[in-house]
Amino acid sequence: MSLAINPLMSLASNPPNYEPIARLQNEFKNKDEFIVEGVIPFLEQILFPSISKEARILDLGCGCGHLAQQLQLQGYQMTGIDASEGLLRYARINAPESEFILGDIRKFELPSTFNAIISIDVFLFILNYEDLTAIFRNVYAALEDNGLFVFSIPLIELMHRQTEEGSFNHIYVNDECAFLELFYYKPEEKMWEIKVTGFELVEKTWKRSDTTWLRKDHLFTDVQSALENVGFTEISHLDAGGLGGSACFVCRKHV
């Protein structure tokens, strides 16, 4: 007798697979306009006043390196970490003066040398409390004393508002690429299944790629609890409407 394997649960144990659509991520996601007009002004309010212009910053889930490049241009010493080799190939081109590490953010170990650690639109792919806690523990260890941890995360409490605003399904198109993300809520798992389809023009032939991701909306109490469990005592949060409707947490490490 064979046992049926739930495909969603098999996806849950691994980071999202970006390899088939790395080019499309670089073409369409977190481009300079979004970063300069949305992310940078936000960081100017909540992070930059508390760090020096030469601060060392770690970007968790750095993707194609567009944010790292914009922060590098402002004088910060940037390091990025991501589990996708394909995305990091673009990151090293987009931000040649930054350092990039191939690694799973749930498992990385770095010395306490960073003045700040940031993560934007990444923790939606962290699917359980244990992995979230593991990441926060890694972050705490990598921060210098008095260092800041700034991240965005989708909360269940904000999910209904986002749904009403129609901010989930996405379609991106240019002359050589097309990229679709379709969201389906799975109430039994309390997760979103994201069906991703991409088309690329390669040597005058259209190439199609498909992959599936899972998204998790977290409880505020779980996020707060995980932060406290690893040692953060100074924790604040605010609505980060400009960052896709997620909440933004700002935490300081005190030893």
pLDDT recorded at residue 87: 97
Beta-strand ranges (E) seen in the chain are 56-60, 77-82, 99-102, 114-119, 143-153, 170-173, 177-186, 191-202, 205-215, 234-240, 246-252
Mean pLDDT, residues 74-85: 97
pLDDT digits (tens, 9 = 90+) for 8-38: 544 556 778 898 899 999 999 877 888 998 8
User: What six digits make up the tokens of 220?
Assistant: 């505020």
| Cα–Cα distance list, 90 to 63, 87, 103 (Å) | 8, 5, 16
For 52-63, write each residue's pLDDT tens digit. 999 999 999 999
Q: Which domains does the chain have, with CATH numbers?
A: 16-44+52-154+217-252 (3.40.50.150), 159-214 (2.20.25.110)
- Over residues 81-136, the pLDDT tens digits come to 999 999 999 999 999 999 999 999 999 999 999 999 999 999 999 999 999 999 99
Residue 5 banded pLDDT, cuts 50, 70, 90? very low
- The distance of Cα 62 from the centroid of its chain, to the nearest Å, equals 7
